[in-house]
């Protein structure tokens, strides 16, 4: 879930969930309070409608006792003058926050509650002075007293009239509603704490775990450890952040590994170049010392010494050129100049240039062209020549036959021309063949002077061919020879519709 969506859900939750929970809690608290009132005050029929009518609530508190006293007034009115009975009724009324007063004519027979301390006398109605419709709910007294007075008129056995009064103070309503208000406030507090707690926990849980893993990941990177997985799979903003961080870690690891590999290759290159430069330099130094010491005392020896020095200098120049070109490959700065090249003429010239040098090394060069004379390719003539020279030089380096043979074939293979350079050298092992185009890979690890080299010749070849949009591969059989293949796309005229 997106962070924006999370915040919206949290906002809606904090807005509507408290209202819903508050409504439910108030409803449940109201039911509990109603049950409490029913149980505590003995009210049989009591609901929310009663709570809205305060007089009805006060009336319901003493309804049962009021009915009992009415029955006594009809059947045994003298009992209403019995102090023992009246005291018992008083105790029951105390539980309902009420008290009892009995008056016969102008004489008070019984005074309950705090009647003696307060001026209730003037509020008590006269005998049969209450309307019939008011008898059930009673007479409400306002002002400072604020109470509900229920009157039960009677006539004793001697014919003396009297009245019993049940007085219920409205203070009980304040107590009941205060208690109910406290319950509501407590419910509001609990609901707010619960909803905010749930929202806080939800947000904390959705954010804390990924942040903890991110912190551990940054600590690992700080310590140089990149071999770990963040392991956060979520479809939200935090998940996207973790995914980006994981991509960064992978790229950083790849970059670090490439740097280590590059440093290793650079060290190996320096070691190879240093070794291969040392060999011709040592030879040159030896022959120069021979000339200085007069060892080359004949024209023939002098000529042989000078030719050897020249060849060794060429070897040094080739190594330095390879190193220079390698640095251009490593920074993708190979200077290409593409032109349309006639295949037959170009490769024929290349073969002519190499034939004399190969003949001097007792290597027979054979050339076969199977493409039409008008076939052309788009290529850099100088770099393709470098490719051919590197492959041929590699064949010469590993030639182990007295009569070496190198065969160059040019074939038409549809949209491409295919160049095959075959030799009868010692060949390449099956296990080594997949790696021959890797930088610094050498099939001969002994590094003897005859087969020395930087190990980057074929990697340069592969880079040039691929930059031309072609491919290169090889087949080989040990003790038989090797065939190098590469293809270049043919140039084709695109007709223009007029």
Residue 75 to residue 194: CA distance in whole angstroms = 59
- Read off the pLDDT band of 498 (50, 70, 90): very low
Does residue 408 share a domain with residue 343? yes
Highest mean pLDDT among 267-271, 375-379, 446-450, 490-494: 375-379
Residue pointed to by tokens 């997985």: 229
Residue 448 lies in a domain: yes
Q: Which residue has the higher pLDDT, 16 or 1?
A: 16
- Taking residues 337-357, what's their average pLDDT? 91
53-67, 176-190, 386-400, 442-456 — which is least confidently predicted?
Answer: 442-456
Element (H, E) at 166: strand 161-169
Residue 272 lies in a domain: yes
Tell me, what CATH number does 237's domain have? 1.10.287.130
Please identify, among 276, 302, 333, the residue that sits at the C-terminal boundary of a domain. Answer: 333
Please identify, among 303, 333, 363, the residue that sits at the C-terminal boundary of a domain. Answer: 333
Does residue 280 share a domain with residue 411? no
152-161, 186-195, 229-238, 272-281 — which is least confidently predicted?
Answer: 229-238
Q: Which residue has the higher pLDDT, 291 or 43?
A: 291
- High-pLDDT (> 90) share of the chain, %: 19
- Which pTM was predicted? 0.48
Is 485 a residue whose pLDDT tops 90? Answer: yes
- Read off the pLDDT band of 158 (50, 70, 90): confident
DSSP-derived secondary structure for 13-76? HHHHHHHHHHHHHHHHHHHHHHHHHHHHHT-SS--HHHHH-HHHHHHHHTHHHHHHHHHHHHH-
HEC sequence for 351-420 = HHHHHHHHHHCCEEEEEEECCCCCCEEEECHHHHHHHHHHHHHHHHHCCCCCCEEEEEEEEEECCEEEEE
Does residue 312 share a domain with residue 193? no
pLDDT, averaged across the chain: 79
Length of the chain: 498
Q: Are 140 and 55 in contact (CB under 8 A)?
A: yes
- Taking residues 95-101, what's their average pLDDT? 83
Provide the domain limits for residue 241.
226-333
Number of domains in the chain: 4
- Taking residues 226-247, what's their average pLDDT? 75
Determine how many CB atoms are found less than 10 A away from the CB of residue 403: 9
Residue 220 lies in a domain: no
- High-pLDDT (> 70) share of the chain, %: 74
Does residue 308 share a domain with residue 322? yes
Does residue 277 share a domain with residue 346? no
Q: Which residue has the higher pLDDT, 474 or 5?
A: 474
Does residue 188 share a domain with residue 258? no
Q: Are 491 and 377 in contact (CB under 8 A)?
A: yes
Residue 215 lies in a domain: no
- Taking residues 47-57, what's their average pLDDT? 57
- Taking residues 119-134, what's their average pLDDT? 64
Highest mean pLDDT among 61-75, 122-136, 222-236, 369-383: 369-383
Is 308 a residue whose pLDDT tops 70? Answer: yes
- Read off the pLDDT band of 133 (50, 70, 90): very low
Task: Please give the pLDDT value at position 252.
Answer: 86
Q: Which residue has the higher pLDDT, 450 or 113?
A: 113
Q: Are 71 and 64 in contact (CB under 8 A)?
A: no
Does residue 197 share a domain with residue 129? no
Element (H, E) at 178: helix 171-222
- Taking residues 99-114, what's their average pLDDT? 85
Tell me, what CATH number does 424's domain have? 3.30.565.10
Residue 247 to residue 2: CA distance in whole angstroms = 20
Does residue 342 share a domain with residue 325? no
Does residue 485 share a domain with residue 343? yes
Residue 232 lies in a domain: yes
Residue 218 lies in a domain: no
Is 453 a residue whose pLDDT tops 60? Answer: no
- Read off the pLDDT band of 482 (50, 70, 90): very high
Adjacent-strand bridge partners of 99: 167
Does residue 434 share a domain with residue 361? yes
What does DSSP say about strands 363-369 and 404-413: parallel, antiparallel, or unpaired? parallel
Task: Please give the pLDDT value at position 415.
Answer: 92
Does residue 33 share a domain with residue 181? yes
Residue pointed to by tokens 């290169």: 472
Q: Which residue has the higher pLDDT, 27 or 253?
A: 253
Please identify, among 291, 313, 333, the residue that sits at the C-terminal boundary of a domain. Answer: 333
Does residue 478 share a domain with residue 367? yes
The C-alpha torsion from 105 through 107 and 109 to 114, rounded to 10°, is: 120
Residue 28 lies in a domain: yes
Residue pointed to by tokens 């290159």: 269
Task: Please give the pLDDT value at position 473.
Answer: 95
- Taking residues 207-215, what's their average pLDDT? 79
Q: Are 416 and 489 in contact (CB under 8 A)?
A: yes
Residue 146 lies in a domain: yes
* End-to-end CA, the chain: 58
- Give the residue from 316, 285, 315, 288 showing the smallest Cα distance to 302: 288
Each residue's pLDDT tens digit, 401-441: 889 999 999 999 999 999 999 999 999 888 889 888 887 66
């Amino acid at each position: 879930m997106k962070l924006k969506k999370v915040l919206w859900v949290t906002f809606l939750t904090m807005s509507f969930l408290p209202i819903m929970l508050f409504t439910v809690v108030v409803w449940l608290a109201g039911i509990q309070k109603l049950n409490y009132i029913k149980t505590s005050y003995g009210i049989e029929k009591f609901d929310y409608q009663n709570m809205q009518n305060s007089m009805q609530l006060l009336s319901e508190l003493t309804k049962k006792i009021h009915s009992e006293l009415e029955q006594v007034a009809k059947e045994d009115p003298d009992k209403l003058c019995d102090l023992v009975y009246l005291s018992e009724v008083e105790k029951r009324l105390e539980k309902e926050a009420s008290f009892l007063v009995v008056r016969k004519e102008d004489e008070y027979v019984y005074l309950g509650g705090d009647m003696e301390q307060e001026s209730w006398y003037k509020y008590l109605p006269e005998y049969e002075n209450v309307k019939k419709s008011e008898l059930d709910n009673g007479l409400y007294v306002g002002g400072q007293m604020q109470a509900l007075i229920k009157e039960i008129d009677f006539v004793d056995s001697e014919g003396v009239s009297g009245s019993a009064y049940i007085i219920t103070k409205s203070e009980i309503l304040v107590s009941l509603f205060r208690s109910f208000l406290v319950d509501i406030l407590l419910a509001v507090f609990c609901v707010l704490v619960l909803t905010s707690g749930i929202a806080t926990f939800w947000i904390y849980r959705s954010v804390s775990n990924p942040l903890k893993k991110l912190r551990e990941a940054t600590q690992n990177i700080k310590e140089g450890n990149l071999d770990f997985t963040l392991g956060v799979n979520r479809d939200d903003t935090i998940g996207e952040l973790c995914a980006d961080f994981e991509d960064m870690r992978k790229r950083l690891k790849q970059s670090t590994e490439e740097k280590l590999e590059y440093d290793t290759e650079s060290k190996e290159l320096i070691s190879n170049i240093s070794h291969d430069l040392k060999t011709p330099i040592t030879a040159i130094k030896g022959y120069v010392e021979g000339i200085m010491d007069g060892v080359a005392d004949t024209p023939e020896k002098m000529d042989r010494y000078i030719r050897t020095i020249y060849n060794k200098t060429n070897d040094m120049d080739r190594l330095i050129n390879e190193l220079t070109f390698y640095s251009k490959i490593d920074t993708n700065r190979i200077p290409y100049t593409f032109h349309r090249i006639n295949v037959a003429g170009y490769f024929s010239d290349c073969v002519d240039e190499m034939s004399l040098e190969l003949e001097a090394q007792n290597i027979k060069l054979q050339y076969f062209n199977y493409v039409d004379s008008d076939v052309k390719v788009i290529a850099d003539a100088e770099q393709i020549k470098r490719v051919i020279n590197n492959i041929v030089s590699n064949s010469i380096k590993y030639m182990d036959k007295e009569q070496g043979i190198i065969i160059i074939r040019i074939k038409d293979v549809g949209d491409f021309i295919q160049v095959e350079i075959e030799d009868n050298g010692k060949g390449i092992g099956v296990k080594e063949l997949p790696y021959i185009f890797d930088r610094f890979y050498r099939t001969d690890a002994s590094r003897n002077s005859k087969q020395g080299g930087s190990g980057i010749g074929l990697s340069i070849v592969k880079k040039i061919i691929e930059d031309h949009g072609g491919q290169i591969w090889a087949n080989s059989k040990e003790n038989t020879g090797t065939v190098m293949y590469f293809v270049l796309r043919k140039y084709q005229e695109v007709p223009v519709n007029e």
